[in-house]
Structures are given as C-alpha cells and as structure tokens.
C-alpha cells in the first residue's frame, strides 16, 4: 500500500496511462496519497511553455543511483497510483537538498489544482521546518 511509505520516497510500479512501469515520487500522504510522475524529460508541450517547464524538478543520477539517466519530476498534475494488489518497489528517496526545489516547483504549477498544491505544500512544510 502507498501508505506504507513516506514523503519523498520514489516508487516504481506500472503506470496505466504510460502503459509501462515508471518511477513516481510520493509527495503527500495526508489526507490522501499524492504521487508525481518522473519522466526522462518534460513533454514537448511543456518544453515550449516556460510556466509548465518551471514546474519540473530535475533529478540527477549522481544523487539517485537507481535512475538510468537524469530525469524530471513533473509537478504539473498528480498521477494515479497502482491498482490494488500491484507490486510497488521502493527505489530510493528524493535527495534531501531537492525538497526546497520541489516545494518551489509545486507552488508555481499553473495546472495542478489548488487543493492538491495545498496538500503537498503542507506536507513539505512539515519536512522543511
């Protein structure tokens, strides 16, 4: 279950939208789990839109040895979690020095709902204080 993990954990499981296993960052647990997808790079649409590009957090293989290449956490929208009974692998933890940058990327997201933003930012505030 997602609730067995903690904020900042990077989980690997099958993503039904991408139709393949993907890494996901657990960004919130209370009052409900919120996951952010990790991609190889921002989408072509986001690359052409500075406001969307600003809500992507770059994560490096130097800090996250389980990654095959430098990647980005998309803070544009939460993504769905695994289906009940699906295997979830804990791959690692977001590097501590990136939590402030994650906070910034979530707070400037023009597409994430205010409700989800607030939930994530409250959780990150607890970690950063």
* pTM (global) more than 0.85: yes
Non-local CB neighbours of 50 within 8 Å, separated by 6+ positions: none
* pLDDT in the model for residue 59: 98
- Please state, as a whole number, how many other Cβ atoms lie within 10 Å of the Cβ of residue 99: 16
The domain spans of the chain are: 2-128
User: What integer pLDDT is reported at residue 19 of this predicted model?
Assistant: 85
Strands in 34-39's sheet, in edge-to-edge order, are: 56-59, 71-74, 34-39, 20-28, 9-15, 89-93
Give the separation between CA 124 and CA 113, rounded to whole angstroms. Answer: 17
pLDDT tens, position by position, 42-51: 999 999 999 9
Model confidence pLDDT, tens digit, residues 107-128 = 999 999 999 999 999 999 999 9
Top pLDDT among 2 and 77 is at 77
Q: What is the C-alpha to C-alpha distance for residues 11 and 86, in angstroms, rounded to an integer?
A: 12
Instruction: Place 88 in a pLDDT band, splitting at 50, 70 and 90.
Output: very high
As a whole number of angstroms, the distance between CA 71 and CA 63 comes to 11
CATH topology for 2-128 is SH3 type barrels. (2.30.30)
């Amino acid at each position: 279950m997602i609730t067995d993990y903690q904020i900042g954990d990077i989980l690997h499981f099958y993503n039904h939208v991408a139709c393949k296993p993907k890494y996901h960052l657990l960004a919130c647990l209370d009052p409900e789990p919120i996951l952010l997808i990790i991609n190889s790079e921002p989408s072509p649409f986001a690359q052409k839109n500075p406001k969307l590009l600003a809500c992507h957090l770059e994560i490096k293989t130097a800090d996250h040895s389980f990654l095959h290449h430098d990647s980005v956490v998309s803070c544009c929208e939460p993504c769905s979690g695994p289906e009940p009974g699906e295997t979830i692998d804990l791959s690692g933890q977001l590097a501590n020095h990136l939590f402030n940058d994650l906070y910034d990327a979530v707070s400037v997201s023009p597409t994430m709902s205010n409700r989800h933003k607030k939930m994530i930012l409250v959780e990150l505030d607890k970690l950063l204080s």
